[in-house]
Structure 1
């Protein structure tokens, strides 16, 4: 029976992907913060024909990530798929337990550290799948800000350097605050980190292992925007009402399950289940290597891994 760990599997894309793997006879380690929601995912996986167990952890705390990895090691002898799906999108500026901007901490550093801690459990033909977003195209990384302030850039609607005047205009006019999208730049930056992490890890894993990331679609029902402030939350949820704009949770879950299985691509960015081309900044190998080394330093591990 193949085994998968799916973070952020108590709702949305993660839950749907877990159930799909259950239908294929997988054992699924379900991660999240809500024990009751985790129990619901476990029940759905088992009803689908698989087996499952819930393990809770708050990824806003790197110590909790380390403890979670220890729990996984006690629970299973190996992993056929590690799915870094947990993530958040918020409007206001918040910091993690270790003082990192929360998007950067939860959406990137937690997955980076977890993969470091568990990569030796990965099967010879195992998969690492990371849920990113098309929003990575709106992102950029300020390495001085990361090093000095623990954040990838400054709050605003856009993180892209070439659109900095637009970000400043939005802040000066109050549009950013009124739309509830002040955190979108930092979210976009964290999603860019996901693609760069995939690029670098793919170069480092064993020959038969596969590392890929995917944009799951525009999915208001995924729950990723549950912490957005009004009116940004209203705009996000309203996308479901616009024909041809939004996708379904099932679209994202299907992509996650497919990439966790027998996909031969390595180091690729997918739009749902279709190979796609990431932004130029996401394909920059020097930036990927630099982010890798800095991330290792920030979480306290040797950068020479796996």
Structure 2
């Protein structure tokens, strides 16, 4: 099999795609690639101004790009619901939802709803967003996909259900790893519940970018005021990381390749799965545990107030 690149993306004319965090990094690169393939891309961005600037940058290279910017603050569940309502009012179809936006290894803070920010933005915000958009995904003409961006660091994650918000014990990298494990538990549980409901037209897939150089790595050191950490991140990005365009390939492959099946985990296939062309990767056993996933799903519905019209999957634990 030849190495997959954006050249192999199908014609997406007539398809509608949402990318969260579309104004920078992996989200920007994915948006540009989707637009180049003919898709209508809704750029879901926390800052409308930064989103519009990013859209103009893409249009300068692709004048025919079909882009719209819509405000989405994943740290505010009211804003998540408002974004979804605007989308439902203006669109009948949603072919790809890329749950991409995130924060990484930042000092402890809380969202508008009182959640620890990494867990609240990376997992709960996307859980709520997907739930609000599930009816559109189900009613879309043809196939639709939900692509949830995780990280190789999910392998270090533990779901501490006794202290999910890090109120008793907070470690910024531990909280990040927990949120990325939550992303995969959600992606795989969504796939199981779609199967249990007999919904074949919606596919849920997890992915990770490997080690990709983006501004995501800089926010933690900047917020903590650590110049040494910031310098170390910049050096590591320059020496070890692939660029953001290559880091976006697993998400694009998961979103568009015809051979993708529900419940897959896509990442780089090169050195230590940190770089290289996209292919199916092996997630941690913990991420495949349906009992842990079902518990997280129940907690997520309670915390967000968003319920899915899907039956609980009944499968044996894999751990």
Q: TM tier, shorter chain?
A: 0.7 to 0.9
Tell whether 2:205 aligns with 1:212: yes
CA contact (8 A) 1:20 1:253 kept: no
**1:109-120 residue pairs with structure 2 within 5 A?**
109-120=124-135
Structure 2, unaligned runs of 5 or more:
1-13, 269-277, 312-319
Residue 169 of structure 2 corresponds to 154
After superposition, where does 1:267-282 map in structure 2 within 5 Å? 267-272=263-268, 273-282=278-287
How big is the shift at 1:217? 1.7
CA change 1:114–1:240 in 2 (3 A) is same
Question: How much does 1:17 deviate?
Answer: 0.3
Contact 1:104 1:151 in 2 (8 A): no
- In structure 2, the partner of 1:166 is none
Quote the residue 1:200 is aligned against.
189
Identify the match of residue 10 of structure 1 among 20, 23, 39: 23
Aligned positions of 1:144-183 closer than 5 A: 144-146=162-164, 150-151=165-166, 154-156=169-171, 183=172
Q: Which residue, out of 245, 252, 261, partners 2:256?
A: 261
The 3-state SS of whatever aligns with 1:72 is helix
Match status 1:237 vs 2:234: yes
Secondary structure of the residue that 2:18 maps to in structure 1? Answer: strand
| 1:297 CA displacement | 0.9
Q: CA deviation at 1:221?
A: 2.2
**3-state DSSP of counterpart to 1:82:** strand
Q: Distance in 1 between matches of 2:90 and 2:308?
A: 27
When structure 1 is superposed on structure 2, of 125-134 and 88-97 the one drifting more is 88-97
For the 8 Å contact 2:105–2:175, the answer to whether it is kept is no
* 8 Å CA contact 1:19, 1:44 repeated in 2: no
Q: Which residue of 1 aligns with 2:3?
A: none
Aligned to 1:107: 122
Distance in 1 between residues matched to 2:134 and 2:217, nearest whole Å: 26
1:267 and 1:41 map into 2 onto residues whose CA distance is: 31
Q: Please tell me the root mean square deviation across aligned C-alpha atoms, in Å.
A: 1.9
Give the match for residue 292 of structure 1: 297
Paired positions, count: 275
Instruction: Give the structure-2-normalised TM-score.
Output: 0.81
Cα contact 1:4–1:80 (8 A) shared by 2: yes
Contact 1:220-1:236 within 8 A present in 2 as well: no
Q: Does 1:26 align with 2:39?
A: yes
Shift of 1:73: 1.4
Contact residue 225 and residue 233 of structure 1 kept, 8 A: yes
In structure 2, the partner of 1:301 is 306
TM-score computed with the length of structure 1 as normaliser: 0.84
The 2-side partners of 1:152 and 1:114 are apart by 25
